[in-house]
Amino acid sequence: MAQALDMMETSAALQPPAHAPLPLEQRRDVTNDELERLALPYPAELYNGKVVYKMANPEHGLIQGNVIGALKAFLRAHPVGYVLSETNFRLWPNRERESRIPDVAFIKKDRLHQNLRRFPEMAPDLAIEIVSSDDNFNKVLGKVDAYLEQGVHIVWLIIPETREVLVCTAHNKHSVREKLAAPELLPGFELVVDEIFADLPRPERD
């Protein structure tokens, strides 16, 4: 009997208290305000209150750096706006448990007038996403459509596997393999698609 009681006490000691909070990753009620206060070490989006981390591999990082470098060089000479990386946007101002992080974003100069220490309650003018090898392409396209529905003018979806960029607007989607441009947002800017993949080995063909 004493042994049984000891086992019950040990088992009870190993159980978390009934009032113990769930780990962040298991919750479905996280809000943007809470996510801001947490200041997590990794970029994290909210999908219906669930925290989803964005974890970049070296290929992703190199591509992101190339794109940001090209945009920053252009904007230094033509200061028409701002380029941001891994910035959390409250795309839906009335949905406190939803946010999205483009890999790269561009905002026109006359639009970025909010508190720069808060998640912007707006959509960027240009959102850029890089498809990772483990991404579900249909889910990525769903994210693209969400951007467009919430006011993003153009989405560049960079596809390393085929070395192309899918240019998406509210009216169409088309593949670009030569030069990227967005004259309505970045007059005079051009980016050779091959430069996006500079320093990356070409994929092996069967």
pLDDT tens by residue, 70-105: 999 999 999 999 999 999 999 998 999 999 999 999
Please give the domain boundaries of the chain with CATH numbers for all domains. 2-50 (no CATH), 57-196 (3.90.1570.10)
Q: Tell me, rounded to whole angstroms, the distance of Cα 27 from its chain centroid.
A: 20
Q: CB neighbours (10 Å) of residue 51?
A: 21
pTM of this structure: 0.87
Task: Report the chain's C-alpha Rg in angstroms.
Answer: 22
Closest C-alpha among 159, 154, 164, 42 to residue 105? 154
pLDDT digit string (tens) for 33-56?
Answer: 999 999 898 999 999 999 999 988
Closest C-alpha among 135, 155, 136 to residue 145? 155
pLDDT digit string (tens) for 107-141?
Answer: 999 998 778 989 999 999 999 999 998 899 999 99
Distance CA 87, CA 34 (A): 16
Distance CA 76, CA 95 (A): 35
